[in-house]
Amino acid sequence: MAAEEASRSSPRSRREPKGRAPREDKYSVLLPTYNERENLPLIVWLLVKSFSESGFNYEIIIIDDGSPDGTRDVAEQLEKIYGSDRILLRPREKKLGLGTAYIHGMKHATGNYIIIMDADLSHHPKFIPEFIRKQKEGNFDIVSGTRYRGNGGVYGWDLKRKIISRVANFITQILLRPGASDLTGSFRLYRKEVLQKLIGKCISKGYVFQMEMIVRARQLNYTIGEVPISFVDRVYGESKLGGNEIVSFLKGLLTLFATT
């Protein structure tokens, strides 16, 4: 893959200054939530299990946007159970968008790497150690989970939604040539400073936001590695993908095509 090859020759080395002991890597997981009361305890337990077994230093930052179903109350209990050094609840009063949720979470993140993922169990934390290994192997700026390479795939979607996803990804590849196989996925690992810069460059909202992040990364010559993942449709709650989101996606795609 071109992005992986580019990383070998990238001039932006991130070695520690001579004479200084290397800093222990820490991974801050950002979990934006809205009405995830049933899913949140399960995803947090899986995250804690994955990090504990793999031995990587971590923290989990929950950004709840005023969920009316009591998600915040559940998050407060999880903070007490696992400790405030591992679980940090940083709520907001209402839904303000995914990009601003990441910005809000990063203000409280103490890790030098940021992991973004959905809280609805569609992204399994078992893949996180693979993301970390991939990043270290290639010194990548970004590692993205992909449903469209290797043994990656989607489970639990009906045929209509699978076709919509495939067609959207195909059109995106043709128009934008992003150097990554899965633009609309939201399971990724970033260097913290890279994510901060990309968010500052992005203007999109909703589902287009994740796509623009990868397109802007290509423009800025950041390197991208990929790990095949299994995406599983949510078990509890309702999908937030609807007709309005599809229209917004198409408008955003055309905007990116015209401006990048």
| pLDDT tens-digit series, residues 140-174 | 999 999 998 899 888 877 787 778 777 777 877 77
DSSP 50: H
pLDDT band, very low/low/confident/very high, at 209 (cuts 50, 70, 90): confident
- Say what percent of the chain tops pLDDT 70: 81
Amino acid, res. 79: E
Q: How far apart are CA 72 and CA 242, in angstroms?
A: 25
Q: How far apart are CA 11 and CA 115, in angstroms?
A: 24
Stronger pLDDT, 26 or 15, i.e. the higher one: 26
pLDDT band, very low/low/confident/very high, at 3 (cuts 50, 70, 90): very low
Residue 7 has a pLDDT of 44
**Nearest to 194, CA basis, from 202, 186, 183:** 202
Q: How far apart are CA 172 and CA 218, in angstroms?
A: 14
